[in-house]
Structure 1
C-alpha cells in the first residue's frame, strides 16, 4: 500500500469514527422535538382531569342582572333552553314583564319558572341582598349568577362630566359587586357555583373615548381575578366575558354621542349579535372558563392580556405562551392603525377650525 493510499484510509477511518459528532445537533433536535410532542400530548391527556366539572343547567337556578334586554335577556333565553330556572333582575318593571314573556317561549318542560325582580343593583346592597334571598326562597340556591347590568358613556376625557365617571363605576362595578356578594357565601357552602361578569373588549384595551367606560370594565377584571383565587378551593368558578360591540339598545344609545375617532376604531371589528354572544358566554361559564372571548380578535386580546389571570386547563396556558409573541406583533400594527386614525381626525379638526377663522 502506498503512502497516499494509507493516508486516505486513515482519514476515512477517522471521519467514520468521528462523524457522529456531526450528527449530534440533529439528534438533539429530534430528541427535543420528540419531548415537546410527548409533553403536549400529555397535557391534552391530563387537562380534562384538572378542569372543573361542567355545570348542568337543567334544573339549575340562574340569576341574570340586566336581564330585561340585550345580552342579559339572550343569556337568560339560552339558559332557559337548557332547562334552567331563571330570575331576571333589572330596574324597569315593564321591560322585565316583556322579557319574561319572551324567555318563557323557550321552555323545554312545564316545571320551569321565570321570576322577575325590579331593583337597582348598584345603589343599596341591603336591598339587593334582600331580593336575592327572596329569589332563593322561591327557586332554590343560586347556581349561576350572570352580572350583566351595565351602561356605557363615550366622549373625550375632558368633555365627560365627572359625575358620569361615578355613575359608571356604580352601575358597571358595584352593580356586579353587590349581587355577587349576596350569593357567594351560599355557593361556597354548597361547594358549587358559577359567577359571570360581563365586561367588554374595552375592559381589555383602553380606547379613545372610553376613559370612563374602560376604567369601570377594567375594574371587573381585578375583582374577578381576586375572587377566583378565593373561591376556587370551594369548586366555585368565575368567568369574565369580553364581548365586542354588540347590537343592543345600549350600543344604539352610545352611538348617538360616540366621537368620530371611537366610531372609526370600532368599525375595525364590526358588530356582534347578542344571541351569539350569549351562546359563547353560557358555554364558557358552564365549563368554568375564566376568560370568555368572541371571535378571532377577542381570542387574540384574551391571550395578549392574560397576565396573571387563572387558567382552566394546562393546554389553555400553553396556547397563551405559544401565541403571545405573534399576537403582540399583530397588536402593534393595530395600535399603529388606531394612532393614525386619531392623528388624521385631529388634523382635520384643526384644519376645519383654521378655515372657520379665515372666513
Structure 2
C-alpha cells in the first residue's frame, strides 16, 4: 500500500491531495504546525473519503526547523512504513513591498517555502534512493515563474524551488526516484484568504484579473502529473508559456504588468 507523506497537509492543496490519495486507498501521513487542524483533517478523510483511521498518521512540526521535520517524518515512517510519495505543500506568504517588509518576514518565507522543502526531501531521499523507488512532489507557484510586485521573498523562495527540483531530478533519476515540481496559480485556500487582505494594490491589479483555482482542481492536476511521471506541472496556458518559453514571453508580461501598475498609481 502506498504511503504518502504531505507537509502542509491539514488544509488547502495539501489536504485536497490527501483526499485524492485517500480515495485511492493510500496510507497518509499529514504534517503541519498545529495539531487541531490536523486532527480535523484526519477525521474528514475518514468520514468523507473512506480512509481507515489506522492508515492515517499526523505529526506537528515546523518545516523550517530541520531537526523537527526530520524527526516527524521519521515517526511517520515508523508508523506507516517507508515513504513512497512525498508532497511538500507547506508554505507561507506575507506580501508587502520590499521596503516595507521586515527582515524576519523575508527570512520566514525563504526558510519555510524553500528550506522547509529541502529539509523534508532530505528526510526521505536517502531511503528512496536506496530502495530505488519513490516520488517527490514539490509545490512551487506561478510566482516561481515571474516576479510579482510585493512578493520579493515569496517569488525568490519559489524560484529557488525550481532550481532545486531541476538539479535534484538529474541526480534522482540515477536512483530510480521521480521528481515533480508544480506551479499552481492563485488557489482558494485559507492562506489565500489571508493573503488577499495583505496584498498590495499594485499586485491586485495584475493578479486579481485571474480567477483562482479550487484546491481540488489543483490537486487533481498534480496527481495526474505525478501518475504521468511529469517533471513540470503547469496550470493554464499563461503559466505553461511562462514555464516553457519564459525568456521570450516574460518581457511582454512585464510590459503589461508595468503599464497596469502605472495606471493604478494614476501615472
- TM-score normalised by structure 2 residue count: 0.95
Partner of 2:28: 86
Where relative contact order (Cα < 8 A, 6+ residues apart) is larger, the structure is 2
Distance 2:34 2:254 in 1: 39
Q: Which is greater in Rg? A: 1
The residue correspondences of 1:166-177 to structure 2 (distance < 5 A) are: 166-177=107-118
Aligned to 2:192: 251
* Aligned counterparts of 1:258 and 1:136: Cα–Cα separation in 2: 38
Q: Is the 8 A contact 2:7 2:88 kept in 1?
A: yes
What RMSD over aligned residues (CA atoms) do the two structures have, in Å?
1.7
Residue 99 in structure 1 maps to residue 18 in structure 2: no
1:118-176 residue CA offsets vs partner (Å, 9 max, x unmatched): 111112x2232222122112211000000000000111111111211111111101111
Q: Is the 8 A contact 2:46 2:52 kept in 1?
A: no
Aligned with 2:266 (options 347, 352, 356): 347
Give the C-alpha shift of residue 112 in structure 1.
6.3
Q: Is it true that 1:276 corresponds to 2:217 in the alignment?
A: yes
Are positions 1:334 and 2:253 aligned together? yes
Report deviation, 1:70. 0.6
CA distance in 2 between counterparts of 1:277 and 1:110 reads 24
Cα deviation for residue 238 of structure 1 reads 0.9
Relative distance call for 1:111 and 1:93 in structure 2 (3 A) is closer
2:95–2:199 CA contact under 8 A, matched in 1: yes
User: 1:1-359 maps to which residues of 2 (within 5 A)?
Assistant: 59-107=1-49, 113-123=55-65, 125-305=66-246, 328=248, 332-347=251-266
* Stretch of structure 1 that moved more, 337-346 or 85-94: 337-346
Does the 8 Å CA contact 1:80/1:106 hold for their aligned counterparts?
A: no
Distance 1:210 1:220 in 2: 15
Gap runs ≥5 in structure 2: none
State the secondary structure of the residue aligned to 1:175: helix
Q: Structure 2: how far apart are the matches of 1:199 and 1:255?
A: 19
Conserved 8 A contact 1:269-1:297: no
Q: CA deviation at 1:333?
A: 4.0
Once residues 112 and 80 of structure 1 are traced to their aligned partners in structure 2, the CA distance between those partners, rounded to angstroms, is: 12
Deviations 1:22-44 (A, max 9, x none): xxxxxxxxxxxxxxxxxxxxxxx
CA distance in 2, matches of 1:105, 1:332: 49
- How much has 1:108 moved relative to structure 2? 5.1
Alignment: residue pair count: 267
Normalised by the length of structure 1, the TM-score is 0.71
Conserved 8 A contact 2:45-2:51: no
* Whole-angstrom distance in 1 between the partners of 2:12 and 2:53: 26
**CA distance in structure 2 between the aligned counterparts of 1:156 and 1:263, rounded to whole angstroms:** 13
Query: Alpha-carbon deviation of 1:296?
Result: 1.8
Contact kept? 1:83, 1:107, Cα under 8 Å: no
SS at the partner of 1:279?
A: helix
Any unmatched runs of 5+ in structure 1? 1-58, 308-327, 349-359
Local SS of the residue matching 2:114: helix
Output the CA distance in 1 between the equivalents of 2:52 and 2:157.
Answer: 40
Q: Deviations over 1:45-85 (max 9, x none)?
A: xxxxxxxxxxxxxx200000000111110011111111111
Looking at structure 1, the residues matched to 244 and 24 of structure 2 have their Cα atoms a distance apart, in angstroms, of 30
Structure 2: distance between partners of 1:104 and 1:149: 22
Q: 1:132 to 1:109 in 2, by over 3 A?
A: closer
